[in-house]
């Protein structure tokens, strides 16, 4: 779909984030780092969260840790940023993260939930720890920060007597959309994040807060074993995180005030808006209640007529790519 002709210099200018404060989780590297840098470029003060702590690099020199390193990049470029070293999957540390934004910059306007890990394995081989860890970091981590940001905005709205400025951008995944066979924990967590997104969007709408989810495809330290190598021809990497961060910045900006409860797939110069689930077929019992025989009589031929393997998952989303010449 071609972009609307209504894109104007005025609307682009209104995407400024000057005077806004953003929290980005898992922002010490990869996608989160690109998102933090982009929000700062547009003028936001950024609280850069990451779990990695200060230490020493390979040469033995002192290292500030990934969160402080990114915060330092932002400050060196003339922006405002502080680091927060903490585990967003810990309820109290998530509370402290939100409090850091408010105490340091006087407000919280944008929350980008990005922190995550991978523990890929087939469902018949997965350990309890591999399941619990991924669900904890992704799904509970998203909930924890959302819970305290939502509380903050609700209190602000009550004090103001009306809507306030609030933006949440959550990170889901194509693994949930496509039903990735080797990632049952990750797909389940990301599906849960979409549910959290739509529920929170409805709950916070009256306070002026928008909540959306992105399904990014990006080359990061977490996905370095998943994607092919960087193109050797020197061209722009279609899986560079910088293809994703502008969408995050847009969803965090004033022009996106009317966009909420949405799910986007984004990578390589392409953004796809995902459709909500729709009813594909309906069957009504001829009597007062269905029995097994009647269900077999209507459902078995229905599925026999559909394509083999066709179900709720959308594996075709993995074939999305930017059209040549667009």
CA quadruple 177, 183, 184, 188: dihedral, nearest 10: -50
Q: Which of 165, 186, 207, 250 is catalytic?
A: 186
Residue tagged 């009550």 (tokens): 158
- How far apart CA 45 and CA 279 sit, in angstroms, is 44
- Cβ neighbours of residue 214 under 8 Å, at least 6 residues apart? 169, 170, 171, 172, 244, 247, 248, 251, 263, 264, 265, 266
- How far apart CA 278 and CA 219 sit, in angstroms, is 32
Per-residue model confidence (pLDDT) at position 144: 98
Helices 141-160 and 91-105 cross at an angle (nearest 10°) of 40
Contact 207, 152 (CB under 8 A): no
Per-residue model confidence (pLDDT) at position 298: 97
Per-residue model confidence (pLDDT) at position 222: 52
pTM of the model: 0.88
Q: How many CB atoms are closer than 10 A to CB 311?
A: 10
Per-residue model confidence (pLDDT) at position 323: 81
Q: Is 302 a catalytic residue?
A: no
Q: Which of 157, 173, 245, 253 is catalytic?
A: 173
Per-residue model confidence (pLDDT) at position 7: 46
3-class DSSP state for residue 319? helix
Positions of E strands within 51-165: 55-56, 62-63, 81-85, 110-112
Which residue stretches of the chain have pLDDT < 70? 1-13, 54-62, 219-235, 237, 325-326
- Cβ neighbours of residue 142 under 8 Å, at least 6 residues apart? 113, 170, 171, 193, 196
Q: Which of 165, 190, 253, 260 is catalytic?
A: 190
Q: How far is CA 104 from CA 52, 94, 97, 137, 233, in A?
A: 21, 15, 11, 25, 44
Q: Is 186 a catalytic residue?
A: yes
Quick one: which of 118, 117, 95 has its CA closest to 23?
A: 95
Contact 168, 98 (CB under 8 A): no
């Amino acid at each position: 779909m071609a972009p609307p002709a209504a894109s104007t210099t005025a609307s682009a200018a209104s995407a400024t984030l000057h005077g806004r404060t953003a929290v980005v989780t898992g922002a010490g590297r990869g996608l989160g780092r690109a998102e933090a840098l982009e929000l700062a470029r547009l003028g936001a003060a950024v609280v850069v969260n990451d779990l990695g702590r200060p230490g020493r690099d390979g040469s033995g020199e002192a290292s500030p840790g990934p969160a402080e390193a990114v915060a330092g990049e932002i400050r060196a470029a003339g922006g405002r940023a502080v680091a927060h070293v903490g585990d967003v999957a810990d309820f109290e540390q998530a509370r402290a993260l939100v409090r850091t934004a408010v105490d340091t910059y006087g407000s919280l306007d944008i929350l980008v939930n990005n922190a995550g890990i991978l523990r890929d394995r087939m469902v018949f081989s997965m350990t309890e720890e591999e399941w619990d860890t991924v669900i904890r970091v992704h799904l509970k981590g998203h909930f924890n920060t959302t819970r305290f940001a939502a509380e903050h905005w609700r209190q602000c709205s009550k004090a103001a007597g009306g809507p306030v400025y609030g933006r949440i951008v959550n990170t889901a995944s194509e693994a949930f959309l496509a039903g990735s066979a080797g990632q049952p924990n990750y797909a389940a967590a990301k599906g849960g994040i979409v549910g959290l997104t739509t529920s929170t969007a409805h709950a916070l709408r009256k306070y002026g807060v928008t909540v959306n989810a992105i399904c990014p495809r990006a080359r990061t330290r977490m996905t370095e074993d998943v994607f092919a190598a960087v193109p050797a021809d020197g061209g722009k990497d279609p899986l560079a995180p910088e293809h994703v961060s502008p969408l995050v910045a847009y969803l965090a900006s004033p022009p996106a005030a009317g966009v909420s409860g949405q799910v986007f797939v984004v990578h390589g110069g392409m953004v796809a808006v995902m459709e909500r689930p729709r009813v594909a077929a309906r069957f009504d019992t001829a009597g007062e209640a269905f029995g097994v025989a009647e269900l077999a009589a209507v459902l078995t031929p229905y599925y026999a007529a559909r394509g083999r393997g066709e179900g709720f998952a959308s594996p075709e989303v993995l074939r999305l790519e930017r059209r040549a010449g667009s």
